[in-house]
Amino acid sequence: MNFKANAMAKLKMPKSLSQASLYGCSFGLAIILIPALLFGQDVFLKITDRGRNRIKIAVLNFALEQKSQFSVDPALTESIPRILKKDLKFSLFFDILDSVEMPQVGPLSEDEFDYPSWATKGVQALVLGFLRGKDEKLEVQVFVESVVLRKRVFKRAYECKKGEERRLTHTIADDITRFLTGEDGVCRTRIFFVSTRSGTKELYVSDYDGMDVERLTHFNSISLFPALSPDNKLLAFSSFKDKGLGLYMLDLEKKKAELLVNYEGMNGPCAFSPDGKKLALVLSKDGNSEIYVMDLRNQHLERLTFEWGIDTSPCWSPTGNEIAFTSDRSGSPQIYIMDATGANVRRLTFQGKYNDQPDWSPRGDRIAYASMLDDVFDIVTIGVDGENALVLTSGGNNQNPSWSPDGYHIVFSSNRDGSYKLYTMSWIGTDISLISQSGEDFSPVWSSRYNWKFEK
């Protein structure tokens, strides 16, 4: 029996259930209605397994206007479509057809477009674009052709300044995903994390794909446990920058960090409530580690747990009515759920000798966490009713899961290749991508969507 099969057996997984059918059962099969514009009829896209029923889409190199007001780097005709293909593939809604012969095509009218030829190549939708320079900006026109309907179904104009091309492309990808599937994409998101690439554990942020990395702290000390506010404006974290392990709040717009609390002992980890008004945090000021809730408007503290054991790693449900957390009150660290008032505590996990770092899916039905199986940690998801546990990873230690805002992806840290790096995967453990660039990276936190403005 291989590692994952052995781990799943320990979790008493029904052998008849595949990853897809198991998760589909608790996830309602994630059925998405595709607009009739694309196929001419109501078509349901089932996101259930390794790419079944994904839209077959081709993305052509963009055309370039030769007589622009300012020069446009010709390399953008290839780099923008290349990023766009990666973004669309990441969404899990599309199969990118790179193997078909793709001639350069400009923004032809519908009457000029050869739909039958593309249909013979198995293409259902086709993306093409047009670049030009105007008023010191890059203008981009994007078109989506429905090969099935033989008509243009999407036409949109964008513009950006030099250096913003990657974010512009992420915005285009999310717009296309939204138009063709009804689902909001996650390419306009960022990932906050701890990294040693500067020599000490500092805070960094990158785009969802690991690109455009920015260093956030310069404390030359150890920073831990980042937690992001729902509006992406505040980052709470713990740091040894001053005396002891204090809890700090970083204003991401002003680039300024201020001390929030610095009681004796532990100050953190923490988590923002869905409305951003409260902070669930771990403090050991009264003895062992307990979970408190702070009202960020007046810094009033309310203690929620009163057990002899260690209570830590709080995370909120999407409704804000419940909190999942780790406790060793039963003798080993396990995941529990309680009401946001501290009442109605119930144990969620019963398999795995060490379960920690819960993160609640934004869809509300599952919780991801790190579980020690066969003496290493793996990422597991479980229904909020304690049923249908699913082991997603194998190889090395896999920790710190964080859900994407659409609930279809998880970012996590793993040392499967020797040192800790960040990876993303689908919610059933497929489509794994390495996104770390250098150093060792830990404790990723996936942001909500940014409202980048590029549409004309």
Q: What is the DSSP string of 39-89?
A: HSS-EEEE--SSSTT-EEEEEPPPEE-SS-SS---TTHHHHHHHHHHHHHH
Judged on CB neighbours under 10 Å (0-12, 13-18, 19+), 389 is: buried
Contact assessment for residue 140 and residue 159, using Cβ atoms and an 8 Å cutoff? yes
How confident is the model at residue 72, as a pLDDT? 84
Q: How far apart are CA 282 and CA 303, in angstroms?
A: 10
How confident is the model at residue 371, as a pLDDT? 98
How confident is the model at residue 101, as a pLDDT? 61
Taking 70 as the pLDDT cut, the residues of the chain under it are: 1-52, 68-70, 99-111
Judged on CB neighbours under 10 Å (0-12, 13-18, 19+), 276 is: middle
Q: How far apart are CA 150 and CA 253, in angstroms?
A: 46
The CATH topology of domain 19-181 is Rossmann fold (3.40.50)
Domain ranges for the chain: 19-181, 190-446
Give the global pTM: 0.89
Q: How far apart are CA 234 and CA 226, in angstroms?
A: 10
Amino acid at 284: S
390-391, strands of its sheet edge to edge = 355-360, 366-373, 376-383, 390-391
Query: Cβ neighbours of residue 124 under 8 Å, at least 6 residues apart?
Result: 38, 39, 55, 56, 57, 146, 147, 148
Q: State the residue for tokens 């999942």.
A: 324
How confident is the model at residue 136, as a pLDDT? 84
Q: What is the DSSP string of 217-258?
A: ---SS-EEEEEE-TTS-EEEEEE-SSSSSEEEEEETTTTEEE
The CATH topology of domain 190-446 is Neuraminidase (2.120.10)
The greatest distance separating any two alpha carbons of the chain, rounded to the nearest whole angstrom, comes to 75
H or E segment and range at residue 173: helix 165-181
How confident is the model at residue 111, as a pLDDT? 65
How confident is the model at residue 339, as a pLDDT? 98
Q: How far apart are CA 90 and CA 72, in angstroms?
A: 28
Say what angle helices 165-181 and 76-90 make with each other, to 10 degrees.
40
